[in-house]
A and B are shown apart, each in its own frame.
Chain A
Amino acid sequence: MAESVLMKGNEALAEAAIRAGCRYYFGYPITPQNEISEYMARRLGEEGGVFVQAESEVAAINMVYGAAGAGGRVLISSSSPGISLMQEGISYIAGSELPCVLINMARGGPGLGGIQPSQSDYFQATKGGGHGDYRLVVYGPATIQEACDLMAHAFEVADEYRNPVMILGDGMIGQMMEPVSFPDRPEKPRLPEKPWATTGNAGRKSNLVSSILLDPEQLDAHNWQIQAKYTEIEKTEKKALVLYGDDSEWFFVAYGTVARICQSVVNRLRKEGVKVGLVRPVSLWPFPDYAFDQVVDRAKGFLCVEMSTGQMVEDVKLAVAGRKIVRFYGRTGGAVPHPRDVERRLRDMIAGKVPSVTDYWDKVGGVRA
């Protein structure tokens, strides 16, 4: 490992992508992820790559479609409203089975919302997002280092399965600075052959990148072939980290930056002897249900904490499958859950109390039974 450098999340991710062999980036300005575009505008030329500032997110994602179809290793980034605009293109990319990596540095919605960190795009990211039956592989890193470590893997998964992969961060991951170290350069990025790419038909039959199949039988077969691919991804790509899984009775469930807040609460409560742990999904799709199976027998309950009104909690409930109670605490629109309130919510849950958020330090925030 090389030495650690202090970097802003957005810039670190851009550098990680370049080190992972990404040479093409298309984007459109939107806060809080502009440093990715700005970094790529400076750096990609040095690496013999191409940066294009598109006229819109709609154009940007379609440039990605063209570039990925032509065999390039392509990155695109945006934040929530911009990602919404890209959904049609993402659906085409998934339908045409093209590889690319997307970064969503999520901000609060709905609508124009705000520019502060949020996790309210979980449904959009993990349940398809655009039209048709498809999935993105989605990773929710909790630190800048983890985000960078996931980048090369994201490109490899995208190439292996010919499917878009999303790094779902939030404004906090993008905007804060942390020490990060990149793997040493000599290790050459794995760039597979892409015999299906549109590179000109010299010496072979013509290639076609397309998602249109007007014949219902063909479209049905195409859909089930894509689903078979997702079944394979579910076998290999589920990933979660469990903290104090061996002796905990109560578990926080949180991903991304919120997991770090929960972890600080776990550390404090543990000093008091409260048997509390943390389940932190790293892959958001496929959802790491196996992690719940590992701890559910000795667990008394799970408290899902999100910067949303409760989205991942639905997957937590599916994973726990009624075996134990699942409760929720969330803040939205850029408001970050306060550790005191996260702790209070857990204490209420342990006590079997119906919480009243007016008792909470922040006086606001949503709870779900």
Chain B
Amino acid sequence: MKVVYQRPKSLYNAATSYCPGCTHGIAHRLVAEVIDELGIQGRTVGVASVGCSVFAYNVFDVDFQQAAHGRAPAVATGIKRVRPECIVFTYQGDGDLASIGMAEIVHAAVRGENITVIFINNAIYGMTGGQMAPTTLVGQKTTTSPFGRDPKLQGYPLKVSELLATIEGARYVARCSLHNPANIQKARQAIRKAFVNQVEGKGFSLVELLSTCSTNWGMTPQAALKWLEEKMIPEFPLGELRNEEGPVA
């Protein structure tokens, strides 16, 4: 008998609080695998945001701080400045990062804070019950855009990664998707790069992960994965948007 797969050391043996079919679990596992692989569990500090991942500290076996809505990059800044030897990452959704926390994420990138950001984009507010997010697609129905997002009333989806990729202090910005195994492997490589950058002192690194919310999209998990691939990826193209080799000069 040979062990071909096991729970990463950096995850507790605990059930998550996510809905069936949610891709948060995959994202958590990828982050934990990278932490294990780099051997940094004992010096990693996570920052949980407000949203479905508010209880991320019940899943990751690393030190954690729970941040106010949108403020995770500021909290991470405080931690990293006191403990530069620690590997600090935030785990934020699109409501948290792209709406209420827009100033904090932009300025953490501007300062080139040497932190890693995992950004879950599922085009909706999950925790609060399916309200419109800045990333909601045109025409997408949510509880607060019941007739579909209308650009004349609610504007167009916000492309955070493209925006952050224009900032000098951001050293690595990539968008990946969690809708199938091939893309999950690519996401894993991007997350690894975003953590290695921090270990090497290069500066701000962010990975956006296109994710599903079958509960609030009102779809089966399978249909949600298909919707992500067919609707979200054309709006949010995948790839490395910024990849600077050296640290900020």
Interchain CB contact under 8 A, B79 and A66: yes
A68 to chain B, nearest CB (A): 7
Question: Contact partner of B79 among A59, A60, A67, A202, CB < 8 A?
Answer: A67
- The answer to whether B79 touches A69, judged by C-beta atoms less than 8 angstroms apart, is yes
* B42 sits at the interface (CB 8 A): yes
Residues on A with C-beta less than 8 A from B61 are 201, 206
For residue B96, give the distance in angstroms from its CB to the closest CB of chain A: 13
User: Complex Cα distance A89/B55, Å?
Assistant: 19
Question: B57 CB to closest chain A CB, in angstroms?
Answer: 5
Q: How far is the CB of A92 from chain B (nearest CB, A)?
A: 5
Complex CA gap A89/B70 in Å reads: 12
Partner-contacting stretch, out of B81-89, B129-137, B206-214: B81-89
Which of B47, B62, B83, B107 has most A Cβ within 10 Å?
Answer: B83
Residue B198 CB within 8 A of the other chain? no
* Cross-interface CB contact of B76 among A26, A64, A66, cutoff 8 Å: A66
A50 to B79, CA, bound (A): 12
Interface residues on B, range: 35 or more
Q: Give the interface segment out of A11-19, A34-42, A208-216, A237-245.
A: A208-216
Taking CB atoms, residues of chain B closer than 8 Å to A55 are 103-104, 106-107, 110
A43-81 to B contact mask, C-beta < 8 Å, 1/0: 000000010101110111011111111111010000000
Which of chain A's residues have a CB closer than 8 A to the CB of B86?
70, 198-200
Task: Decide if A65 touches B82 in the complex (CB within 8 Å).
Answer: no
Q: How far is the CB of B9 from chain A (nearest CB, A)?
A: 11
Mask, B100-113, CB within 8 Å of A = 1, is 00011011001100
Closest-CB distance, B175 to chain A (whole angstroms): 24
A54, A69, A89: the one contacting B65 at CB < 8 Å is A69
Across the interface, do A62 and B64 meet the contact criterion of CB distance under 8 Å?
no
**Inter-chain contacts of B78 with A (CB < 8 A):** 24, 26, 62-70, 72, 74
Q: Which of A24, A59, A212 contacts B81 (CB 8 A)?
A: A24
Check A227 for interface membership: any CB of B closer than 8 A: no
Which among A24, A206, A208 is the interface contact of B82 at CB below 8 angstroms? A24
B7 to chain A, nearest CB (A): 16
**For B41, what are the chain A residues with a Cβ–Cβ distance below 8 Å?**
201
- If A200-B45, A206-B64 touch, whether A63 touches B75 (CB-CB below 8 Å) is yes
Number of interface residues of A (CB under 8 A): 39
Q: How far is the CA of A203 from the CA of B91 in the complex (A)?
A: 24
**Which residues from chain B contact A68 at a C-beta distance below 8 Å?**
78
Chain A residues with Cβ below 8 Å from B65 are 65-66, 69-70, 96, 198, 208-210
Q: Is B167 an interface residue (CB 8 A)?
A: no
B68 touches A209 (CB 8 A): no
**A73 closest partner in B (C-beta):** B82
Among A66, A198, A200, the one with the most B-chain Cβ atoms within 10 Å of its Cβ is A66
Q: Are B68 and A92 in contact (CB under 8 A)?
A: yes
Q: Whole-angstrom distance from the CB of B73 to the nearest CB of chain A?
A: 8
Q: Which of B56-75 contact A (CB under 8 A)?
A: 57, 60-68, 71, 74-75
User: With the chains together, A198 CA to B85 CA distance in Å?
Assistant: 12
Asked if A202 and B42 make an inter-chain contact with CB atoms under 8 angstroms apart, the answer reads yes
CB atoms of A88 and B62 under 8 A apart: no
Which of B47, B65, B75, B78 neighbours the largest number of chain A CB atoms within 10 Å of its CB?
Answer: B78
Residue A207 at the B interface, CB < 8 A?
yes
Q: Point out which of A26, A201, A206 has the most chain B C-beta atoms below 10 A from its C-beta.
A: A206
With A67-B82, A70-B82, A70-B83 known as contacts, the answer to whether A208 contacts B45 (CB < 8 A) is no
CA distance A58 to B74 in the complex (A): 9
Say which residue of B43, B54, B80 sits within 8 Å of A212 (CB atoms). Answer: B54
**CB proximity of B46 to chain A, nearest CB, Å:** 9
Contact A52 B77 (CB under 8 A): yes
Is there an interface contact between B63 and A66, defined as CB atoms closer than 8 Å? Answer: no
B81 — which chain A residues lie within 8 A by C-beta?
Answer: 24, 50, 52, 63, 67, 72
B44 at the interface (CB under 8 A from A): yes
Across-interface contacts of B47 in A (CB, < 8 A): 66
Which of B43, B68, B82, B83 has the most chain A CB within a 10 Å cutoff?
B82
Taken together as a complex, chains A and B put the C-alpha atoms of A88 and B50 apart, in Å, by 14
Q: Which single residue of chain B is at the shortest CB-CB distance from A69? A: B65
Given contacts A67-B81, A199-B83, A89 and B57 within 8 Å (CB-CB): no
Which A172-208 residues sit within 8 Å CB-CB of chain B?
Answer: 198-203, 206-208
Q: Which of B62, B71, B83 contacts A89 (CB 8 A)?
A: B71
In the bound complex, how far is the Cα of B79 from the Cα of A68, in angstroms? 8
The complex places the Cα of A276 from the Cα of B248 at a distance, in Å, of 65
Q: Jot down 7 A-B pairs with beta carbons below 8 A, ordered by A.
A: A55-B104, A70-B79, A96-B66, A199-B63, A201-B61, A206-B64, A211-B66
Known: A66-B74, A66-B78, A92-B68. 6 other contacts (CB 8 A): A62-B75, A65-B78, A66-B65, A198-B63, A210-B48, A210-B57
Leading 10 A-B pairs by shortest Cβ distance: A66-B78, A202-B42, A67-B78, A62-B74, A66-B75, A210-B66, A200-B43, A55-B107, A72-B82, A62-B71
Interface residues of A (CB under 8 A from B): 24, 26, 50, 52, 54-56, 58-60, 62-72, 74, 88-89, 92, 96, 198-203, 206-212
